[in-house]
Structure 1
Amino acid sequence: MEEILKLREASYWETVWDKAKLYGKNPGSEGPVHSVELWEKRAEKFKNNVKGERGKKRTGDVIKWFENQGLSLEGMTILDIGAGPGAFSCAFAEKKARVTALEPTLGMSSTIRERIETEAITGLEVVQMPWEEVDVKKMGWQENFDMVFISMCPGVHNAELFKKAMSCAKKYVYYSGWAGRRDSEAFSELWKELYGEEMPIWRSDIIYNLNWLYAQGYSLAFEVQQDVHREESAVEDAVEELMSRLSFLGKDTTGLKEQVATFVSEQAEAGVFTTNAVSRRGKILVKL
């Protein structure tokens, strides 16, 4: 009974949230997934992803979901934390919201600035800075935005950073993250080949955010969607992607590139590497 009662305590979920993210001998570390340098290398890939049909659909689905919740973006002030190449920031600005896009990488923040100029987007400001380093008081961001928007952002990776994000919001907080399953047939095969075991569970999961918020009595809207698709990429790009995923799961990739390249080359056809991928994403709208 005592264990069951713990599930109702926000502090319990805070502790579980933090413990779930620890990697090996580095307490408090989630590995290189939060390295700005790593995401700088992935800037071009993310830029191309948001241009595709899947990227546009995901943006449109979120806006439609807001509308179904009775939420209009017009005239809203929004802080987009971890804005990436600006898919959501630009879409919100086009809906006449006033948006501050916070993005730590030069590659992706430059993409947003280029879009502002080439597409004549108004009401959109770019701040290049990691969320971990933002002082919300100095920035004047405390309770300054109608909505704080956090989509698949590795920079908001524990309760303290999530609380900081919530402190900037007056009306709404949106959060999306992985919801349990994130599988790639090729990556699972590679993992078995390298380490002789099944791939571990992906550590990042929306379950911690959801239960932490629920335990505190917040009004929430929650939804999970599953995405099944084929991933196609050039051999060189596939090698870099698989190396990145190994890093995300806390593995030291030193000296592994040749082995990963051989794995990719053996499975590629006509210079194209393909794999089936399944993922589940969850999204939460907190009504303050």
Structure 2
Amino acid sequence: MELKDFENLWRSNIADLEETQKFWDMRADEFNSYSRNNEGETRRQQILDLLTAKGILRNDAEILDIGCGPGKYALEFAKKVKTVVGIDISPRMIQYAQDNAQRQNAANTVFELSAWESLNLDECGWNKKFDLVFASVCPGISSSESLLKLCRASKGACFISSFVERSDELRDELHRVIFGRDPEQRWGKNIYYAINILWLSGYYPEISYRDAEFEHAWPLEKAVELYSSQLKRMTKSNADMSGIEAKIAEYLGKVAENGLVYEKVKSKIAWLYWCV
């Protein structure tokens, strides 16, 4: 297969950025808390160890963190490098990142509200600006264009991570209950496309894998809102979800424990690192 074949396979629709922003705003509280748990700290340290071994976290380095969330990676980078710029589509994520930076006196960080899919590097003056362009499990890396934009912004190296396998036990069961079928297997395609597009574009990506298990706990009302949004996004449906939301609420009400809904997640995450 040629480069155009993979570009055609990996097409994204950026017309729903407003809906995407609402979804990640809804999860900002969770991610700000999750960034401090043991599993999150372990994964973060593993990535820091990798990048340190690559010699990219230098005291004169400038880093761009795409989909920075509440700043968990950016603030760790800031302890080792000259400057870090973090961008995210969610205003609430950016507010958390700014608050966390202020709390940690991380004056060498800047957090900006921006969607990577629609960001113009020329207008930002970001062509070949950063020593490392970084994106950890960022849904904004969703097409050949958004992937190769990392290369254009970097003068040193790039890093992305993405799920290649993932099982959300409760959400998958909800999908079967609501739609009468297993959810479509979404994981692994992005990394498959990314490796081939990078290789055919003249880059040499290194890949490694990590297993991860974690558990979420949401108040029942928040869980209904979250799963309703997720199932709509998974089915790419424009249909009225009100009836489906009632079914979700009924099902989650039965499995909730003391007003909380628990979700166990098992996953395999791929890391891609390459020089430009």
Q: How does the TM-score come out when normalised to structure 2?
A: 0.90
Residue-by-residue CA offset, 1:225-284 (whole Å, 9 max, x unaligned): 121233333222322232232123124433322211111111122223223321121110
Shift of 1:168: 0.7
1:163 maps to a residue whose letter is: L
Within 5 Å, give how 1:46-85 maps onto structure 2. Answer: 46-85=31-70
Residue in 2 that maps onto 1:197: 181
Contact 2:172/2:182 (CA < 8 Å) preserved in 1?
yes
Which of residues 256, 260, 263 in structure 2 aligns to 1:272?
260
Residue in 1 that maps onto 2:135: 150
Contact 1:152/1:178 (CA < 8 Å) preserved in 2?
yes
Q: Return 65-74 or 209-218, whichever deviates more.
A: 65-74
Partners in 2 of 1:196 and 1:30 — Cα distance? 29
Partners in 1 of 2:109 and 2:38 — Cα distance? 23
Shift of 1:127: 1.7
Residue-by-residue CA offset, 1:110-139 (whole Å, 9 max, x unaligned): 111112222111211122122233221121
Residue in 1 that maps onto 2:245: 257
2:167 maps to 1:183:
yes
Contact 1:81/1:131 (CA < 8 Å) preserved in 2?
yes
Within 5 Å, give how 1:18-167 maps onto structure 2. Answer: 18=11, 28=13, 35-167=20-152
Shift of 1:88: 0.8
Shift of 1:31: 6.1
Partners in 2 of 1:15 and 1:93 — Cα distance? 37
2:146 maps to a residue whose letter is: L
Partners in 2 of 1:140 and 1:31 — Cα distance? 26
2:238 maps to 1:281:
no
Which secondary structure state, in structure 1, belongs to the residue aligned with residue 98 of structure 2? helix
Within 5 Å, give how 1:210-225 maps onto structure 2. Answer: 210-225=195-210
Contact 2:142/2:190 (CA < 8 Å) preserved in 1?
no
Which secondary structure state, in structure 2, belongs to the residue aligned with residue 206 of structure 1? helix
Residue in 2 that maps onto 1:245: 230
> Sequence identity of aligned pairs in percent?
23
Residue-by-residue CA offset, 1:35-72 (whole Å, 9 max, x unaligned): 21222222212211112222222211110111233433
Cα RMSD between the aligned structures?
A: 2.1
Unpaired runs of 5+ residues, structure 2, are none
Residue in 2 that maps onto 1:24: none
Partners in 2 of 1:55 and 1:44 — Cα distance? 15
How many residue pairs match? The answer is 272
1:11 maps to a residue whose letter is: K
Residue in 2 that maps onto 1:13: 6
Partners in 2 of 1:176 and 1:33 — Cα distance? 24
Partners in 1 of 2:61 and 2:135 — Cα distance? 16
Unpaired runs of 5+ residues, structure 1, are 1-5, 22-27
Partners in 1 of 2:109 and 2:91 — Cα distance? 17
Residue-by-residue CA offset, 1:131-158 (whole Å, 9 max, x unaligned): 2332211211100111111112222211
Partners in 2 of 1:280 and 1:57 — Cα distance? 15
Which secondary structure state, in structure 1, belongs to the residue aligned with residue 162 of structure 2? strand
Which secondary structure state, in structure 2, belongs to the residue aligned with residue 155 of structure 1? coil
Partners in 2 of 1:89 and 1:40 — Cα distance? 19
Which secondary structure state, in structure 2, belongs to the residue aligned with residue 286 of structure 1? strand
Shift of 1:184: 1.4
Partners in 2 of 1:191 and 1:231 — Cα distance? 18
Residue-by-residue CA offset, 1:2-29 (whole Å, 9 max, x unaligned): xxxx2xx2222212222xx5xxxxxx46
Cα gap change, 1:130 to 1:30, in 2 (>3 Å): closer
